[in-house]
Structure 1
Amino acid sequence: MTQQREKWDVLKILNWTKGYLAEKGVENPRLEAEWMLCEALSLDRVGLYLNFDKPLSDSELASYRNMVARRGKREPLQYILGSQEFMGLDFQVTPAVLIPRHDTEVLVSEAVKRSAGAGSILDIGTGSGCVAIALAKELPDVEVCSVDVSADALAVAMSNAEKNGVTVQFSQGSLFEPFAGRRFDMIVSNPPYIPASDIATLQQEVRGFEPLSALDGGADGLDFYRSIAAEASNHLTAGGWLLLEVGAGQAPEVLELLRAGGFSRECFSEKDPAGIDRVVGGRVP
């Protein structure tokens, strides 16, 4: 976009942005251009289509240019717009938290399936709070607790709980640290699971902007699973469930860790929509 005072209407600037973002390697340049322009103009996409000949004001153009520049540097669109949908709910996201993925909805669905009789659930590594908040929404009579080591992430999660009208008990600490002597009917977690050596191969949007602490699972990606599987039975009631999201190809090893940790009953794995084993779980005797 030049600095000359030329007229930029909606259609003209969308076409320009599509080409610019495509050059920068953005996968869906036209669609993302539309989403950012919707934000700048406070319109939905239907409104955008009905206003193709609308000229942008100086302030609208400045706001849009800023967003496009950030996206051109491959900053995730969700951080630019400040939100992401998950399980039909709207979540605020900032660079303090991992952007919720729709793959993680499988973890919530499997937890809800196994929630009969549960009075309490613990979500480990809550990040944006998407899993805990979705569970609190689906299971309003269940006490949902969550923990994260990051104070900044917890601030985002608390804001999201308030925004979505649910009560979640948030604690700061590592894994089970704040819950000495406490037992739950179910524990769920989407822990960091990317092998450290693979981080450099991730999309620029991920490796350059999302929090490393929410991605790095150690040398083989399994560090957090080892810690959780070793301790979880001490924090579950009899017959309690442990459910974990896993990375592609990790399900067999994580299931072995669960069995070694005493989860000998009803172990399972469940696929995501892409056919990848995405959630594993087991039950204490």
Structure 2
Amino acid sequence: MSGAAAPTLARALALATARLRAAGIETPERDARRLLAFSQGIAADRLSLHLPDPLTRPEALETALAAREARRPVSQIVGQRLFWGRQFRVTADVLDPRPETEELVAAALEAPFSRVLDLGTGSGCLLLSLLGERPSATGLGVDLSAKALAVAEENSATLGIKADFCVSDWFSTVSGSFDLIVSNPPYIAAHEMPGLDPEPRLWEPRMALTDEGDGLGAYRAIAAGAMAHLAPGGRLLVEIGPTQGAAVAALLAAQGLDIRGVRADLDGRDRVVLADRQLR
């Protein structure tokens, strides 16, 4: 057992940052802070107060840094991601909730709704965020992956936000109508997958990323079933890739939906197509 004093957290942070930078991580300082705090059992926003303290769990930090060097997403390493002000459980069975997806939540909250359907719910971040903001509403989240639904159900219980979940291939087991349907479907074309960053390509579920085709397959399925499940006056909001706005809008319009616009994210890229079923 060495008699040398343990390094301080400040020193460990500096070394961890340098290590992640050498590994080609784009945000080494931010990731090192989060992983150090996680490994020491400290809230990330309290780390600065503890920097003079000694490093007490070097093995935990080493495990976390090695995982990040392998390009595992930070959210999977620490097991959670902040989305719309709430912490969501994240595993390798679900898509990592991303900040740009919050644009869909913001757009959905611009009008009232009482019954919402989330197609391809994954972690449940869309459905549970919406229901958390509208406690009188009810909602159903569906996914083809039973493992993803287990994560969504865990998030529902942890957050104390009630929702229903079931296995479904888009609308295949869905009955009834909804005044709001939302989805963040797989929209990356198969030929684009090799060019993805290692984090999603190696660690996130492939079925949540690509349709193994041209990237529009999910929208065709959603468009084909939307009118049968949207109440008159109901809205449909789907997240898209930044070049897909016109194509997705055309698919929805061809099925009788009225296109209300394409919403950009904070980086100015097209992110959400808004459509509805007119009252007739």
Q: TM-score, normalised by structure 1?
A: 0.93
Aligned residues: 277
Deviation, structure 1 residue 14: 1.4
Separation in 1, partners of 2:106, 2:21: 36
**Are the equivalent residues in 2 in contact too, given 1:255–1:267 (CA < 8 A)?**
no
Cα pair distance change 1:17/1:4, threshold 3 Å: farther
- Comparing 188-197 with 4-13, greater Cα deviation is found at 4-13
Separation in 1, partners of 2:3, 2:248: 59
Aligned counterpart, 1:197: 191
> 3-state SS of the aligned residue for 2:170?
coil
Aligned counterpart, 1:160: 155
2:79 maps to 1:82 = yes
Percent identity of equivalent pairs: 37
Cα pair distance change 1:94/1:259, threshold 3 Å: same
Q: RMSD across aligned C-alpha pairs, in angstroms?
A: 1.6
> 3-state SS of the aligned residue for 2:82?
strand
| 1:122-147 Cα deviation digits (max 9, x unpaired) | 00000000000001011111111110
2:140 maps to 1:145 = yes
1:93-104, aligned counterparts within 5 Å?
Answer: 93-104=90-101
2:216 maps to 1:222 = yes
Aligned counterpart, 2:233: 239
| Counterpart amino acid of residue 16 in structure 1 | L
**Are the equivalent residues in 1 in contact too, given 2:81–2:96 (CA < 8 A)?**
yes
2:178 to 177, 184, 196: 184
| Counterpart amino acid of residue 236 in structure 1 | L
**Are the equivalent residues in 2 in contact too, given 1:82–1:94 (CA < 8 A)?**
yes
Separation in 2, partners of 1:267, 1:93: 32
Separation in 1, partners of 2:270, 2:45: 37
2:256 to 243, 252, 262: 262
| Counterpart amino acid of residue 241 in structure 2 | G
> 3-state SS of the aligned residue for 1:280?
strand
Aligned counterpart, 2:61: 64
| 1:201-250 Cα deviation digits (max 9, x unpaired) | 01111101011000013322100001110111011111211111100110
- Comparing 223-232 with 41-50, greater Cα deviation is found at 41-50
Separation in 1, partners of 2:178, 2:49: 52
> 3-state SS of the aligned residue for 2:173?
helix
Aligned counterpart, 2:126: 131
> 3-state SS of the aligned residue for 1:179?
coil
> 3-state SS of the aligned residue for 1:178?
coil
Separation in 2, partners of 1:230, 1:96: 27
Separation in 2, partners of 1:105, 1:46: 22
Separation in 2, partners of 1:199, 1:135: 30
